[in-house]
């Protein structure tokens, strides 16, 4: 029998393994592992047990794999702000933050990508972290969420495997911040529970236009507990004031080249301009009766509760109005933990949440080097606090007085703090049931129905983008069997989607993957799941790229700048030279960007205003031609002022102009042009300019 080099033996020697033999998976102590898929729980839907030494070792090692950057969510950006309560929830929760309408609570928010390193680019196709630290009067509360309401896996046992598969492949250390490679899709295609999340990450949700235009979700089901001990289930939603907005994939690729810090810069500039990012906090509240009657398990992190079934109740707003003073001291050292909750908020037995609660504290110790990371100003509570924790590396505060233990009999002056049965945190009382088991409950077994619902909730252009994304990602996978296996799952979601992807890859359509539970086709579409249906209604908060050249109509340029400002938006001037351009009235208009440093991908809409003398020069410039052709290809609204004809002729677009290309003949056209920019994209253009669409 042929032999090959296997894993290292105990002395570091290479062991010989017979071909066809598979090593038994063990712990680091050499204990054979019977189940590497599920953590140990009390009953099928009960809490995860601390005695699960295999899970503890696995997550412990994973948490310590990187120093000093985060293992996941390494590339992040944060800002300070406040949460303001707009509706009291006193009857539902005793949480102090939800008691008094109009009260503001200090907040810090960190946005991030998941897969890339600190040096990766902002516009990777990826999940975005949306972590909110609320400095309440009864302690710090961290809502550590994402911009997508579901996750790839149902049990935290699989988290190290998921991230290992998504990260650069270990033998070659690439690709960076991308999932378009064999390891990721091999894992995904062997993990049917991830199919709902796949629809989200292949949608435009994974390439948001900015932090300001993406939703945030708490992902898990939590509990709110009132003063009488009554529990209400809750899911958390952050809904952006400026509406949802994403970019096109080709646009994302070019933005990463032009400005890899695009999201960071957008947040920084918006706060500096006083155009403060804002989200509404919405809650989906439901009781045990609803949970029992719902078609899916509310403890399953791969599922949502459609807003049509449980409407989102808006109770407050989150505003970011202050940038950090030092990126490292605040954004890099901030420590979020899902376990950080306050009286009136509690956990459920979601096995992914239970694992996160266990993991995060360990992670902070490794990253920040000390159990005293709460002494850092960004992590310290804003309310009074007192405890007997002492010493340790970099302790900046130690208890005073004689006693450093409890109970003690030293009295108020030297005895230190005391527990408070009335104000203190109390866990919701829930009796665990069942045997100790490593299983997935049957209620978690439907992996395709909500994926199908998500896909059917998208507009046709969004469905096209999902198909395009799948074709692109899987085209980077070298092994045909992995591609085919993934398409077999897509057949359980939507047959036309599967055929589109198979055709794009040149694959024979395989048989559908075997489904543990037959996918349902009766789940109604949900408008809340579509970006296009929840986009902005105006150009407010957006940016117009205004390309000007010498001799441009001064009255028109100034009218356009004024109209954009009145709409609550921004203008950035692009010119052939960074010094600017001399307008027809003799005004010297300074530029923000030189044309080859300000491509149209950086803007939500563009306008081009030249003159008879400068237009031929613009038409000869490659960067200027790209400015126009990219804007057209990305379905942006384009304002065409005097002097645009030579450029249109040179780019071949003169015969292709559509209703998204608007004439700017004179200053009187400025207001109408800006008013037309609200939809942000003229999507009817894309099917006429895309090879895959034309081939179909």
| Secondary structure (DSSP) of 488-538 | HHHTTT-HHHHHHHHHHHTPPP-PPPPPSSPPPS-PPP-GGG-SGGG--SS
- Pairwise CA distance, residues 207 & 248, whole Å: 8
Query: Backbone phi, then psi, for 146, in 5-degree steps?
Result: -135, 175
What 8-state DSSP symbol labels residue 67? S
- Pairwise CA distance, residues 348 & 354, whole Å: 8
Q: Which of 146, 147, 256, 357 is catalytic?
A: 146
Per the annotation, the verdict on 146 as an active-site residue is yes
**80 within 8 A of 135, measured Cβ to Cβ:** no
Q: Rounded to 5 degrees, what angle do the CA atoms 20, 23, 24 make?
A: 130
Q: Can you tell me whether residue 285 is helix, strand or coil? A: strand
User: 3-state DSSP: the chain helix, strand, coil percent, rounded to 5?
Assistant: 30, 20, 50
**54 within 8 A of 48, measured Cβ to Cβ:** no
Structure tokens at 448: 């395709």
**223 within 8 A of 348, measured Cβ to Cβ:** yes
Q: How far apart are the first and last CA of the chain?
A: 50
CA distances from 205 to 120, 216, 568 (A): 19, 11, 25
Per the annotation, the verdict on 73 as an active-site residue is yes
Beta-carbon contacts of residue 687 (< 8 Å; ≥ 6 apart): 461, 464, 693, 694
Q: Which of 73, 80, 181, 489 is catalytic?
A: 73
| Secondary structure (DSSP) of 182-249 | HHHHHHHHT-GGGHHHHHHHTSGGGSBS-GGGS-EE--S-EEEE-TT--EEEEEEEEEETT---B--H
- Pairwise CA distance, residues 505 & 538, whole Å: 39
Beta-carbon contacts of residue 150 (< 8 Å; ≥ 6 apart): 196, 197, 200, 219, 301, 302, 303, 304, 450
**556 within 8 A of 664, measured Cβ to Cβ:** yes
- Pairwise CA distance, residues 302 & 450, whole Å: 9
- Pairwise CA distance, residues 474 & 482, whole Å: 8
In terms of residues, how long is the chain?
696
Residue 151's Cβ-side half-sphere holds a number of Cα atoms within 13 Å equal to 25
Query: Backbone phi, then psi, for 53, in 5-degree steps?
Result: -65, -30
Please name which of 223, 360, 353 lies closest in space to residue 288, comparing C-alpha atoms. Answer: 223
Please name which of 561, 566, 591 lies closest in space to residue 576, comparing C-alpha atoms. Answer: 591
Structure tokens at 642: 């005097």
Active site residues: 73, 146
């Amino acid at each position: 029998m042929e032999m090959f080099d296997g894993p290292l033996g105990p002395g570091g020697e290479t062991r010989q393994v017979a071909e066809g033999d598979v090593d038994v998976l063990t712990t680091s102590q050499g204990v054979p592992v019977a189940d590497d898929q599920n953590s140990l729980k009390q009953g099928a839907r009960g809490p995860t047990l601390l005695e699960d030494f295999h899970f503890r070792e696995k997550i412990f090692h994973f948490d310590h794999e990187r120093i000093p950057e985060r293992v996941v969510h390494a590339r992040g950006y944060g800002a300070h702000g406040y949460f303001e309560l707009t509706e009291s929830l006193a009857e539902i929760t005793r949480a102090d933050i939800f008691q008094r309408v109009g009260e503001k609570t200090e907040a810090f928010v960190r946005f991030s990508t998941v897969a890339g390193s600190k040096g990766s680019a902002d516009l990777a196709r990826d999940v975005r972290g949306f972590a909110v630290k609320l400095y309440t009067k009864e302690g710090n509360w961290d809502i550590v969420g994402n911009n997508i309401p579901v996750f790839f896996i149902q049990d935290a046992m699989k988290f190290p495997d998921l991230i290992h598969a998504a990260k650069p492949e270990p033998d070659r250390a690439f690709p960076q911040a991308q999932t378009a490679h064999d390891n990721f899709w091999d894992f995904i295609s062997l993990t049917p529970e991830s199919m709902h999340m796949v629809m989200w990450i292949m949608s435009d949700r994974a390439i948001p236009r900015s932090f300001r235009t993406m939703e945030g979700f708490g992902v898990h089901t939590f509990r709110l507990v009132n003063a009488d001990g009554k529990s209400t289930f809750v899911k958390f939603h952050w809904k952006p004031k400026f509406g949802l907005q994403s970019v096109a994939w080709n646009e994302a690729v070019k933005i990463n080249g032009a400005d890899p810090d695009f999201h960071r810069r957008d947040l920084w500039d918006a706060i500096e301009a006083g155009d403060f990012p804002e989200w509404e906090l919405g809650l989906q509240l439901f009781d045990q009766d609803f949970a029992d009657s719902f078609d899916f398990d509310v403890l399953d992190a791969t599922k949502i509760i459609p807003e049509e079934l449980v409407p989102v109740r808006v109770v407050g707003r989150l505003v970011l109005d202050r940038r950090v003073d030092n990126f490292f001291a605040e954004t890099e050292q901030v420590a979020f933990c899902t376990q950080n909750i306050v009286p009136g908020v509690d956990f459920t037995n979601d096995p992914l949440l239970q694992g996160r609660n266990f993991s995060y504290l360990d992670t902070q110790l490794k990253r920040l080097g000390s159990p005293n990371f709460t002494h850092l100003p960004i992590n310290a509570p804003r309310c009074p606090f007192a405890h007997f924790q002492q010493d340790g590396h970099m302790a900046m505060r130690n208890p005073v007085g004689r006693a450093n233990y409890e109970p003690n009999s030293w009295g108020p002056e030297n005895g230190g703090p005391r527990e408070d049965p009335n104000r203190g945190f109390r866990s919701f009382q829930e009796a665990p049931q069942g045997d100790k088991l490593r299983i997935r409950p049957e209620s978690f077994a439907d992996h395709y129905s909500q994926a199908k619902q998500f896909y059917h909730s998208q507009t046709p252009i969004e469905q096209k983008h999902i198909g395009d994304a799948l074709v692109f990602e899987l085209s980077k996978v070298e092994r045909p069997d992995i591609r085919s296996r993934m398409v077999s799952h897509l057949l359980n979601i939507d047959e036309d989607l599967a055929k589109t992807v198979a055709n794009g890859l040149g694959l024979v359509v395989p048989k559908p993957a075997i489904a543990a539970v037959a996918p349902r086709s009766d789940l109604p579409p949900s408008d809340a799941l579509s970006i296009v249906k929840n986009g902005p209604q105006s150009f407010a908060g957006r940016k117009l790229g205004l390309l000007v050249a010498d001799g441009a109509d001064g009255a028109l340029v100034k009218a356009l700048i004024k109209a954009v400002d009145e709409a609550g938006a921004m203008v950035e001037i692009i010119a052939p030279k960074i010094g600017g351009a001399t307008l027809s009235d003799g005004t010297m208009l300074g530029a923000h960007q030189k044309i080859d440093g300000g491509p149209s991908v950086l803007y939500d809409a563009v306008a081009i205003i030249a003159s008879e003398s400068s237009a031929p020069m613009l038409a000869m410039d490659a960067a200027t031609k790209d400015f126009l052709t990219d804007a057209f290809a990305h379905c942006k609204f384009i304002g065409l002022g005097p002097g645009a004809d030579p450029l249109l002729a040179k780019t071949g677009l003169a015969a292709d102009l559509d209703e998204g290309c608007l004439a700017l003949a004179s200053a009187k056209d400025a207001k109408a042009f800006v008013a037309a920019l609200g939809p942000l994209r003229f999507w009817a253009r894309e099917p006429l300019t895309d090879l895959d669409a034309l081939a179909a």
